[in-house]
A and B are shown apart, each in its own frame.
Chain A
Amino acid sequence: MNMHAPTETRALAAASAPDAPLPGYQRLRTLVAAALALVVLLSIALGAALLPDDGLATNLSARALPPGADHLFGTDPLGRDMFTRTVKGLALSMQVGLLSAGFAALLALVLGVSAALHPKLDAVVGLLIDLVMSLPHLVLLILVSFALGGGTRGVIIAVIVSHWPTLARVLRAEMRQVLAADYVQVARMLGRSRLYVARRHVLPQLLPQVLIGALLLFPHAILHEAALTFLGFGLAPHLPATGVLLAESMRSLAAGLWWLGVLPGVCLLGMVLMFGRIAEGLRLVLDPRRAQD
């Protein structure tokens, strides 16, 4: 086993991986859960777009209200509606997560595949992986976003830079396996072009891995974005980002405004869990072999 692979991804994968070959109804249940999660996430994105911006404006006559009928999640000390801010924050997190996980997966694909193709490239990619892995994620994230002066762009790039190696390793190993597989060897001997082999044999093997890998990266991207923002390196404080909301909630924690910190956090947790569900469902559809691992 590989000592240096980030254990968190493994933990998530292990937790979401079903235990035994799935009977039909369990398979159905997994798929339904994934579909439901997808619907919820999509409606958050849609809701964020449809919700009026009024909730983001200050309202000095409705300050620090606890959750109630008018304000489902209460209001903050400036009278801003926390429900609006939370939903928009989740949507923002999804955008950031989508961009960073997507690009990280792309980077992992390029580097992982090239490493499997040539020993020299392998050495370079190996060194890059070691380099990224030699620093704790959060330290690297802070360094990169420090270098880019924070902001949304800084966070996205920081997450990309720090999150590609895990997947790159998986893809490198997968690629090696595919290249060494009998049917590929045979295809090569039969004089099939490299392009044909790549399209016909390699891509179908790698694509599910990339998609599932990207989905598994997604929660990390979101959590790290929130953490960076919470520490003050990430998204700008006037944006309704979840990290911003939680950092702000710290200020009023001692005064007892619990809803500012608890509710957006629960929503963030729920969102991450839902991505786990979707990854599980996707794995079942795309890669049943491993799903029953």
Chain B
Amino acid sequence: MSLRFLSLLLATTFSLSAPVALHAAPRTTLVLAVSGEPAYGYDPVKGWGRYGNTLFQSTLLKRDAKLNIVGDLATEWKASADRKLWTVKLREDVKFSDGRPLTAEDVAFTFETTRKEAGTVDLTVLESVRAVDARSVEFRLTQPRVTFLNMMVTLGIVPKHAYGPDYGQKPIGSGPFRLVSWAQGQQLIIEPNPNHHGSKPAFTRITFLFTKEDATYAAARAGQLDLAAVPATLAANVPPNMKRVAVDTVDNRGLLFPMQPAKGEKTPNGATIGNDVTADLAIRQAVNLSLDRKALAAGVLNGFGSPAWGPADGLPWDNPEQRLPDTNPAAARELLLRAGWKPSTSASTSANASGALEKDGVIARFTIVYPASDGTRQALALAAADMIRKSGIQVDVAGKAWDEIKLLAHSNVVVFGWGSHDPQEIYNLFSAGASGKGYFNAGYYRNATVNANLEKAQQAASLQESLPHWRAAAWDGKTGFGMKGDATWAWLVNLDHVYFVNPCLDIGPRQIEPHGHGFPVTWNLQDWRWTCN
């Protein structure tokens, strides 16, 4: 009461100092807060644009609203019969923002430099690349890769004549925009690139604000933003004068299981491999059965998400056949009992205080590890643990830094998130050869049939022809990485990416967005229009 009086008093006294609206119609400027500031600057060689939009550079290929691959710089692209040699023809009218033409040399330079740079873009499959003439480029691969196309979709082309260590700070490219100013940790300001070969943006200046989630939300409430990415936890309260756009994604979160029993095996950097509890299929399937994915999506994500059943729900290479029904801890317990897990005979022992099931002296117990910096994953871990406990498994939860997770990931259940426009990710997650490379196949999953299916997919003539093989890898009726097969993961939820958008701003059709909040939402930024006066 008195507080309100005080604030009223102060408000009237100081009302002159209240912030005024920054913009008046008609609008030629935009302020967006989508997060996703690149650590390395706007340098595709160092990983910029791997998800979503490169803004400043163009790519050889791009995806349209329905995720079909279409040409951008490339007019033609084809693979040889053995699919190890790719030839790409370039269009002729492309200029960099500094006015110099973009040629095959630049393309070869970009791929070559990226491979050597060894940043966050993995091009180890590329054996060599060369400019055949000014308009055509040849890529030689060490092995067939139907997913090599994705590199052409994501890798922005940099100018050979203007590339150096500081490129990421002041990028020059042939994309729809050019950089005006970047204050790291604060904001990026861009303007249209007059030399761009595609459609022309409607705004003369666009600002990206790199604020933390809570600050973004507050700025949106204060009417300072035209588009704000908000976490699901804050998505319920839409600020007045903004509308909410929830975008479907393949941005998923799930629990990764260590697949091998603990036999003392270690990775080259000393991390233990294996976990005797999760190596048991019954445990992994029981976890999958006992989860209430709907409740997770409704409770943790505030309804801005959906249950996740696999690594690529809704994408063409997904196989819904692999799913098992969930929200059934009783069935989970039943499954465990049938598999030989028994109620603890020595429930009073301190080792098994919670009375978890046991089998041959092994207590049904594991730890869910999550990255401590990620609030949503923490929430998912805590809530999922409480659900799994009902089936008779004891679950501990631990927040760790990423570098610790790297050492724990092969012997503990970890909350990971994936989601890509490209099935290469399926290959990375489930092929035995990818085991322990970064976080690829961190559970050391090995299944010869699945491997064979994945290889068949990679060597298929086209993405379309590869689809049955990807699906078979998940579940072919007998085995697969999916729930009915080896249940390598307990997928939890697919996140919606939620944005608060100024109702006057038309942001066109939405793509299904990949893992990671950030620039994917700007995939068609050059086509955004202001619809009010």
Contacts and interface: CB of A to CB of B under 8 A. Distances in A.
Interface of A: 57-58, 60-61, 63, 77-79, 149-150, 232, 236-238, 248, 250-256
Interface string B110-135: 00000000000000000000000000
Contacts of B375: 248, 251
A88 B409 CA distance: 30
Contacts of A78: 299-300, 379, 382-383
Contacts of B378: 237-238
Contacts of A60: 295-296, 298-300, 383
Contacts of A252: 214, 233-234
A60 B218 CA distance: 25
A78 B300 CA distance: 7
A78 B295 CA distance: 12
Contacts of B400: 236
Interface string B393-426: 0000111110010000000000000000000000
Given A63-B299, A237-B399, A254 B382 contact: no
B346 interface: no
B430 interface: no
Nearest to B295: A60
Contacts of B372: 232, 236-238
A236 B405 CA distance: 13
A58 B382 contact: yes
A62 to B, nearest CB: 10
A240 to B, nearest CB: 12
B373 interface: yes
B383 A58 contact: yes
A155 to B, nearest CB: 14
B280 to A, nearest CB: 26
Main secondary structure of the interface of B (DSSP, over half): helix
Given A60-B383, A238-B378, A77 B233 contact: yes
Q: Which of A61, A78, A232, A248 has the most CB of B within 10 A?
A: A78
22 contacts: A57-B386, A58-B382, A58-B383, A60-B295, A60-B296, A63-B299, A78-B383, A232-B372, A236-B399, A237-B372, A237-B378, A238-B372, A238-B378, A238-B398, A248-B375, A252-B234, A254-B214, A254-B215, A254-B217, A254-B221, A255-B217, A255-B234
Interface of B: 213-215, 217-218, 221, 231, 233-234, 237, 295-296, 298-300, 372-373, 375, 378-379, 382-383, 386, 397-401, 404
Contacts of A232: 372-373
Contacts of B234: 252, 254-255
A260 B296 CA distance: 22
Contacts of B298: 60
A228 to B, nearest CB: 14
A78 B378 CA distance: 10
Contact of A254 (B218, B300, B401): B218
Nearest to B397: A238
A89 to B, nearest CB: 15
B235 to A, nearest CB: 10
A238 B399 contact: yes
A250 B214 contact: yes
Given A78-B379, A236-B399, 16 more contacts: A58-B379, A60-B296, A61-B299, A77-B233, A78-B299, A78-B382, A150-B401, A236-B398, A236-B400, A238-B399, A250-B214, A251-B233, A251-B375, A253-B214, A254-B214, A255-B217
A58 B384 CA distance: 9
A61 B233 CA distance: 14
A30 B34 CA distance: 56
A254 B231 CA distance: 12
Nearest to A59: B386
Nearest to A77: B233
A77 to B, nearest CB: 5
Contact of A251 (B213, B296, B300, B386): B213
A236 B371 CA distance: 10
Nearest to A61: B299
A254 B215 CA distance: 7
Contacts of A63: 299
A53 to B, nearest CB: 11
A175 B214 CA distance: 52
- 9 nearest CB pairs, A to B: A60-B299, A254-B218, A237-B399, A254-B217, A237-B372, A58-B383, A254-B214, A58-B382, A238-B399
A254 B236 CA distance: 12
A111 B93 CA distance: 76
Nearest to A255: B234
A285 B51 CA distance: 67
A254 B404 CA distance: 31
A78 B221 CA distance: 23
B386 A58 contact: yes
Contacts of A256: 237
Contacts of A251: 213-214, 231, 233, 375
Nearest to A238: B399
B399 to A, nearest CB: 4
Contacts of B231: 251
Contacts of B401: 149-150
Nearest to B381: A238
A77 B215 contact: no
Nearest to A236: B399
B400 to A, nearest CB: 8
Contacts of B295: 60
Nearest to B218: A254
A132 to B, nearest CB: 26
Nearest to B299: A60
B191 to A, nearest CB: 30
A170 B217 CA distance: 49
A232 B234 CA distance: 22
Contacts of A248: 375
A196 B275 CA distance: 60
A50 B214 CA distance: 35
A142 B373 CA distance: 17
B393 to A, nearest CB: 15
Contacts of A77: 233, 379
Contacts of A79: 299
Contacts of B379: 58, 77-78
A78 B385 CA distance: 13
A177 B517 CA distance: 64
B216 to A, nearest CB: 8
A256 B217 CA distance: 11
A236 B214 CA distance: 21
A57 B382 CA distance: 8
A238 B214 CA distance: 20
A117 B321 CA distance: 80
